[in-house]
Amino acid sequence: MGTLGKEYREWIATRAIDGATTQVVDGDHISIHADAATAQVSFYCFDDMPEVVELSVVTNESNESRFFLHFELEDLDRAKELFGEMVDTLDIAQGGGTTHVLLCCTVGMTTTMFAAKLNEAAKTLSLDYEFEAKALEDAQREGGHYAAVMLAPQVGFRRNEVAAAFPDAVVTEIPPKVFGAYDAAGALRMLLELLGDESLSTGDRSDLRLMRDIHNDKTIMLVSVVNKPKFSTISFRVYRRWKLIASDVVHKCYMDRRDIADVLATLHVHGVDIKELDAVGIAVPGPVDYGEVGELSRELGGYVIEERNIEQALVRRFGVKVFVDNNANAATVGCYMLNDTYDSVALHTQQVGYLVGGQGTVVNGRLVRGRRGMAGELGAFNKRVMLNGGLHLPEVFDTDDPSPEAHVHSDIPWRADRMLPILATMLLANITVVAPDAIYVAYDLIDDMDALRAELAKTLPEDFIPDLIHITDYHEKIFAGEMALVLQRLTAPLS
């Protein structure tokens, strides 16, 4: 234990944390116990390397990870900052425990059956969620505390009065296709996305294969950064040839470039020497211009990064080849590589809780990046076209606040029927300029591609509408596409 480690341990042990008790288990482990969750600080020593600190928060009832990361103990101020973020997450988790969700319909009969199916699915998946069904009138009269209120399609038009009756809940309508089929998995995916919960994940796959032949005799690390309204994640995998040898996920409220560096710096914790990597591929939100990543603010999501070339910074620090791409672009390449039908494809990805998403496009096997990596970044499209071009937010959300910043958080009652014309408008821009063979849609709120096709048909002749494919494995597409981009660069630079 060095001087820095000793000082950090002593500093943690003396922190007074409201509603929690700190226990020094031994010289390398400190626990912070609260009613709903437990935080752990663990120290790991390695020969001739800085100490590695692991910070984690898990809920006591469901053992769900709310915060998890590793970092090298080299900067005490940075270490204190990360500890503070962990404590903030612990405080948020104190309002956790079982997540209560209310389902409402006219008399409560159909939602009672659906709630039973959702409770069964949640139990099977070890999710600490409890679903209750009531008639809408009873729910409004009786009140109660719920994390979310899900409305059956027949009462969806009353969402504004429900939102007023349950001001602390996320209020949303269950898509007719999901409700009609009693699709518990689809409803859970939508709900977890809405609440910023990654409990229902696709998991790691060790059999990653690209259908369009790419030879791979390399050891590649893939890193995917995804931001959501309430939190961000860094998922990484290391493949030796096509065999998965390491993987993990970092959970944080906010993410910046230092967190990406921490993942690389602590790779040895997972039994992988960074020197054995042939390359690292990183997929991040925002425009990427030859490794320079544009700034994304905290106010518009959980991810923030300075305007700088993170490729060069990571290469200098770790001495390994690093390639950075936009995550929607990587996922689009994944869609292209994993099909043998389409030569030109587009992908629209959007998190529930955001007004717009991102789009990637592959034309005749070539990824469209555009000037300064701006291709597919729809933020400006939002402000210019939607706010000034006739599709006004007050009409969409029945609100007097027209600012896009007011609608990026998940306490807004998002509805599929209201978002459908917005999604169609965003796709039209791509269709009329590129005319891809197929468009993949990674958006949990809208999974009815027939309804989307009908919306597009209001503007386009049927023959001009591409094939529309809804996907739920967006993360897998990111990893597959980033692998392809890295391998192509290693064999021949992409133009």
Token pair listed for 433: 């300029």
Token pair listed for 166: 């349950």
The CA distance from 135 to 111, in Å, is: 8
User: What is the model's pLDDT at position 158?
Assistant: 86
Please name the residues in contact with 392: beta carbons below 8 A apart, sequence gap of 6 or more.
386, 402
Residue 240 CB burial class (10 angstroms; 0-12, 13-18, ≥19): middle
Alpha helices (H) in 48-143, listed in sequence order: 76-93, 109-124, 136-142
Cα distance from N-terminal residue to C-terminal residue, the chain:
49
Token pair listed for 450: 């027939």
Name the pLDDT band for 230 (thresholds 50, 70, 90): low
Name the pLDDT band for 16 (thresholds 50, 70, 90): confident
Does the structure show a pLDDT above 50 at 48? yes
Q: What is the pLDDT of residues 88-106, one digit of tens each?
A: 888 766 655 678 899 999 8
User: What is the model's pLDDT at position 232?
Assistant: 79
Q: Which of 227-241, 370-384, 408-422 tops mean pLDDT?
A: 227-241
Task: Map residue 85 onto helix, strand or coil.
Answer: helix
Name the more confident of 63 and 261. Answer: 261
User: What is the model's pLDDT at position 229?
Assistant: 59
Q: Do the strands 99-105 and 148-151 form a parallel or antiparallel pair, or are they unpaired?
A: parallel
Does the structure show a pLDDT above 60 at 399? no
Name the pLDDT band for 196 (thresholds 50, 70, 90): low
Does the structure show a pLDDT above 60 at 208? no
Name the pLDDT band for 388 (thresholds 50, 70, 90): very low
User: What is the model's pLDDT at position 238?
Assistant: 95
Q: What is the pLDDT of residues 323-340, one digit of tens each?
A: 999 999 999 999 999 888
Per-residue buried b or exposed e for 207-220, using 16+ beta carbons within 10 Å of the residue's own CB:
ebebeeeeebebbb
The CA distance from 246 to 234, in Å, is: 14
Is residue 487 within 8 Å of residue 218, measured between CB atoms?
Answer: yes
Q: Mean of the per-residue pLDDT values for the chain?
A: 82
User: What is the model's pLDDT at position 419?
Assistant: 82
User: What is the model's pLDDT at position 429?
Assistant: 87
Does the structure show a pLDDT above 90 at 38? yes
Q: Mean of the pLDDT values across residues 391-405?
A: 44
Q: pTM, whole model, 2 decimals? A: 0.74
Name the more confident of 165 and 415. Answer: 165
The CA distance from 234 to 232, in Å, is: 7
Q: What is the pLDDT of residues 125-134, one digit of tens each?
A: 767 789 999 9
Does the structure show a pLDDT above 50 at 301? no
Contacts 24+ apart (CB under 8 A), 7-14: 7/76, 8/53, 8/73, 8/76, 8/79, 8/80, 9/43, 11/80, 12/41, 12/83
Name the pLDDT band for 389 (thresholds 50, 70, 90): very low
Q: Which of 173-187, 214-228, 466-480 tops mean pLDDT?
A: 466-480
The CA distance from 486 to 473, in Å, is: 20
Phi, psi at residue 31, to the nearest 5°? -115, 145
User: What is the model's pLDDT at position 204?
Assistant: 37
The CA distance from 146 to 102, in Å, is: 7
Please name the residues in contact with 141: beta carbons below 8 A apart, sequence gap of 6 or more.
none
User: What is the model's pLDDT at position 344?
Assistant: 94
Please name the residues in contact with 172: beta carbons below 8 A apart, sequence gap of 6 or more.
148, 149, 150, 151, 159, 190, 191, 194, 413, 414, 415
Token pair listed for 400: 């007097």
Cα angle 259, 322, 249 (rounded to 5 degrees) comes to 35
Name the pLDDT band for 361 (thresholds 50, 70, 90): very high
Name the more confident of 406 and 451. Answer: 451
Q: Do the strands 366-367 and 358-363 form a parallel or antiparallel pair, or are they unpaired?
A: antiparallel
User: What is the model's pLDDT at position 266?
Assistant: 94
Name the pLDDT band for 303 (thresholds 50, 70, 90): low
CA contacts within 13 A on the Cβ side of 443: 34
* CA nearest neighbour of 359 among 283, 442, 416: 442
Concatenated DSSP letters of 329-357? HHHHHHHHHT-SS-SSEEEEE--TT-S--
Residue 392 CA from chain centroid, whole number: 27
